[in-house]
Each structure stands twice: as structure tokens, then as C-alpha cells.
Structure 1
Amino acid sequence: MNATTSTKIALVTGAGSGIGRAVALGLLSDGWNVVLAGRRAEPLQALAAEAQARDQAALAVPTDVTSPDSVEALFATIERSFGRLDLLFNNAGVNAPAVAMDELPLEKWFDVLNTNVTGVYLCARAAFGLMRRQSPQGGRIINNGSISAHTPRPFTAPYTASKHAVSGLTKALALDGRAFNIVASQIDIGNALTELSERMTRGVLQANGTVAPEPMMDAKHVADAVRQIAAMPLQANVLNMTLMASTMPYVGRG
């Protein structure tokens, strides 16, 4: 699969479901060639087939973002197939059980940090390198943050720490990319309805100890926001965006 010089190339990690899938579909509808990365091959291949049935260009590449070798192979495939990368939506992430931190197995801590921080870094690092050496030089990296990049929910120390780290990485990328026409953004999402977040409609632990259902928004709104940022020229950037269900308990949380 080779792109024409006018075709934009995007990579979406965690593309097999949820927000990643919604964003991939949105970019495909805008005419991007989209590389679909994720740990599970089946949903990636199903999404690629769905896109190809609509004459859209999608390439499924099963990838473990926590593995340097797997990420290296992903970017080698992108460079071999398209010669460049214009957009990375750094979306793959995991959570941990909501329990007191002294009850959380340490492997869960490492799993969250390895995926949400090291995985984001490995993909950003590889994208930075490709965007730096390609011609024309430059590109855009959008990191999926979270409301938890600003304030925690109860018993979410690993996830909250990981998303605060993503905020620092995004700012570092935005600074270090200046010389190479590489721009970085972060979109902090609150209560987008996906297969994983559907449970929140039935009740979520609140800061006062109660459990209450929370309002949700369609994941399509996240896709639309990413599409808006992706469509901007590299001379302009949205460094940080908070996108949330309007009445969720964030403003005034606690």
C-alpha cells in the first residue's frame, strides 16, 4: 500500500475499540490513510475490512506498545508502506482496579505505567524520529490524556500518575519538536461512552464515598475533536483540550 504525495498518513494506537476505533473511523472518513495498531489482531482486521469495503485506506498492524521491538516493527511497516507519517493519535491505555493502593498488586501498577507512559513514549519517540527525517519534515502527535491528568478519582493512583506523566511528555514534545515542525497536543477526555466505560452509567465511586451513575457523551465527539486538531496546519496547535460530558462531576469534584 503506497500513498500519493497528497495523501495524509495517520497512526491510531488502541484502534480496535472505543475511542481509538471512533477516531480511526473519523480520520478515514476525512480521507486519511490510517494505520490501525493494537494488541488484538481480530478487531483491527475487521475495522480494516470495513474501511476497505468503503474504498477507504486502512492498514492493520497488531502491536504491543509496551514492547520496543513491536513498536519498532510498527514504524518500520509505516515507513516501508507509506514513506512518512503525518499524524499519531497516541491512544492505547489501560486502567487498574479501583482499590486502596496498599491492596493493589504491584504488577497492576507496572502494567498501567508500562502502557500509559512507556507505551506513549515509545510511539511518540518513533513518530518523532520519522517525522524529523521525512521530507517534507514535520507532523502532529496527539496524546490521549484524561480528566485524571488534572484531578483523580478515588483509588486511581496508577492511572492518575500515568496521565499526569502524559501531560509532561506532551509539553516536552511540543517544545522539542519546534525545530523540526513537529507539534504536540493533548486531549483530556471525561466520560466518553465506550465498551469499557459503559459501567459508569450504573454507578461510579465518588469522592464522598457514595456510588452514583454519571452522565456520558458519545465517543464520536472525541473523534470530531481529534479530526479538528488533525486538520489544522502545523503553524497552529491546540496544546491542551478538555472534552467532557457537560454535567459530569469534574468541575466541583469532591
Structure 2
Amino acid sequence: MTHTPSPQIALVTGAGSGIGRAVALGLLDDGWRVVLAGRRAEPLQTLAVEAEARGQAALAVPTDVTDPASVEALFGTIEKTFGRLDLLFNNAGVNAPAVPMDELPLDKWFSVINTNVTGVYLCARAAFGLMRRQAPQGGRIINNGSISAHTPRPFSAPYTASKHAVSGLTKALALDGRPFHIVASQIDIGNALTELSERMTRGVLQANGTVATEPMMDARHVADAVRHIAALPLSTNVLNMTVMASAMPFVGRG
């Protein structure tokens, strides 16, 4: 008799819109059971209902990734419901207004760092613990980086600093996870068209002071890249991947 493996369990943060939603839909199509986390309950529940209508399994868990108690509750729900976690797509993130740093209110700095660094760390920490103690042991953590993890846009100090921090965290996770079959990846995305990035189609400040429109790509191509990494065995990893609109000003930026 052929043994059918149990569906694997994935968690997507920032799943209510944009890249998170596209990735969640892709993983559902691949047969994953997907936990949908995000601050806004309504879009998470809408996505869960859509998945159920297609015979797929999604669980909406409203979560503030900057709040340790909220993250702890999220992972408690995952462990109680499924008993394990095989994949975390650490996607939730925010940006700050593009203004000279001395004009940026400090609360915007803290918002970016709390979400993009502390939030990523809290979710990775909780996933690491669950993946370490579950049987069979191990799992995969994919962090959403950015082109800004390599080089900044003008007036992007908080976001750029946060994404450089994610790069360091990804490498530390990849190293520290080795004894426990936990692997870590970072996907650096350039100009995926989402609700938040749509404004870029009307012009973006360039390093030479001009404002120019930039090519964009469909977010489903990011989802396809995450699905590719997620489908690999834990013996194989893509440590870093850059997925970008081909003609965007990244190579040669500045």
C-alpha cells in the first residue's frame, strides 16, 4: 500500500495582501496547509474562506508580529492545531516616508525596526523553537529581504538598515539551524507590483535627484520563487535569491 504523506504546514506573515497573499495562494495550490497571519483580521478571513471554497486548508490568525505575546499566541495556536511547522515565510514589513532622516519622526524609525527586524526575529525565534523540538525535527525559514538589503534608495535609512539586519539574521539562522535540520533563506525582491508599491509606477526618486517611473513585475513571480525554495528537501537550500523586474535600476543604481 502506498503511504500518502501528511500535508505540510506553512505560516505566512503579512498574508492579507500583496506578496504575502500571493505566496499564501501559491502554497495552498501546492497542497500546503497555510496559517495566515497579519494585523488585519478581515483580509485574512476572506482569504481563508476563498481557500475553503477551493477545498484548501487555511487558518486565519490575526497577529501583531511586533508584540511578543501575540507571536507566542500565534505559535501556540499552530502547535495546538497542527503539532508542527514545516515552513515560515517571514514576510510582514513596513516602510517609512522618503524624507531626509533629520526630518523623519522617530516613531517612523521605531515602527520600521520593530516590524522589519524585531518582528522577523520574534517569528523566526518561535519557529526555530518549534522546528527544533518537533518530530521529525527541522523546517525551513524564508525571510523577505529586499533589493535594499544590498544598496539603498535615496532617503531610505530605516528600511535599508532593517533589511541589512535581516540579511545578518538569515545567515545566523542558517548557521545555528544546522544541528537541528533547520534551514534559512532570504529572498530579495525588486519592484513587485502590490497595493503598497503601485505608487512607484508614477515615479520614484533616483540617486541623481530625478524622478523616474520604474518597471514592475507581477507578485506571482515572487510567489513562484518562494514555492520553488519551499519544495526543496531540507538537504538543499537557496541561501539568497534576488527576484526583480529585469530592467529596474538596481544593477548600476547610483
State the TM-score, normalizing by the size of structure 1: 0.98
Query: Post-superposition shift, 1:222?
Result: 0.2
In the alignment, the residues of structure 2 paired with residue 13 and residue 197 of structure 1 have an alpha-carbon distance, to the nearest angstrom, of 18
> 3-state SS of the aligned residue for 1:184?
strand
- Partner Cα separation in structure 2 for residue 173 and residue 91 of structure 1: 16
Matched residue, 1:145: 145
CA distance in structure 1 between the partners assigned to 2:253 and 2:7 by the alignment = 43
Question: What secondary structure sits across from 1:19 in the alignment?
Answer: helix
Name 1:40's counterpart in structure 2: 40
| Post-superposition CA distance 1:139-158 (Å, at most 9, x none) | 00000000000000000000
The equivalent residue for 1:169 is 169
Q: Which amino acid aligns with 1:192?
A: A
- The one-letter code matched in structure 1 to 2:187 is I
Q: What pairs up with 1:20-31 in 2 under 5 angstroms?
A: 20-31=20-31
Paired with 1:159 and 1:224, the residues of 2 have a C-alpha distance of: 25
Structure-2 separation of matches of 1:248 and 1:123: 31
Q: Counterparts of 2:200 and 2:243 in 1: how far apart (Å)?
A: 17
1:70-122, Cα deviation, whole Å (9 max, x unpaired): 00000000000000000000000000000000000000000000000000000
Q: Residue 221 of structure 1 corresponds to which residue in structure 2?
A: 221
Name the residue aligned to 1:100.
100
Instruction: Tell me which amino acid in the other structure corresponds to 2:236.
Output: A
SS in 2 for 1:247: coil
RMSD over aligned Cα atoms? 0.7
| Structure 2 gaps, min length 5 | none
Could you tell me which residue of structure 1 aligns to residue 249 of structure 2? Answer: 249
For these two proteins, the number of residue pairs brought into alignment is 251
Q: Which runs of 5+ in 1 are unaligned?
A: none
Q: What secondary structure, in the 3-state scheme, does the structure 1 residue paired with 2:163 have?
A: helix
Q: Which amino acid counterpart does residue 207 of structure 2 have in structure 1?
A: A
CA distance in 1, matches of 2:99, 2:201: 20
CA shift for structure 1 position 7: 1.0
Q: Which residue of 1 aligns with 2:231?
A: 231
- Distance in structure 2 (CA, Å) of the matches to 1:24 and 1:68: 23
Corresponding letter in the other structure for 1:222? V
Aligned to 2:211: 211
- Give the TM-score of the pair, scaled to structure 2: 0.98
Spell out, residue by residue over 1:188-217, the C-alpha distance to the aligned partner (whole angstroms, 9 max, x if none): 000000001011011000000000000000
CA distance in 2, matches of 1:96, 1:198: 16
- For 2:52 and 2:92, the matched residues in 1 are separated by 23
Q: Distance in 1 between matches of 2:24 and 2:125?
A: 21
- Is 1:118 the equivalent of 2:107? no
The secondary structure found in structure 2 opposite 1:46 is helix
- Could you tell me how far apart the structure 2 residues matched to 1:50 and 1:89 are? 20
Identical aligned pairs, as a percentage? 88
Q: How much does 1:5 deviate?
A: 5.6
| Secondary structure in 2 matching 1:251 | coil
Name the amino acid aligned to 2:154.
P
C-alpha displacement of 1:6: 1.5
Q: CA deviation at 1:159?
A: 0.1
**C-alpha separation in 1, matches of 2:110 and 2:5:** 41
In structure 2, what residue type is equivalent to 1:104? L
**How far apart, CA to CA, are the structure 1 residues paired with 2:253 and 2:61?**
39
Which residue type is aligned with residue 96 of structure 2?
A: A
Per the alignment, in what secondary structure is the counterpart of residue 235 of structure 1?
coil
Distance 1:176 1:251 in 2: 32
Aligned residue number for residue 159 of structure 1: 159
Taking the aligned partners of 2:253 and 2:150, their CA distance within structure 1 comes to 11
Matches of 1:213 and 1:239 in 2, distance apart? 31
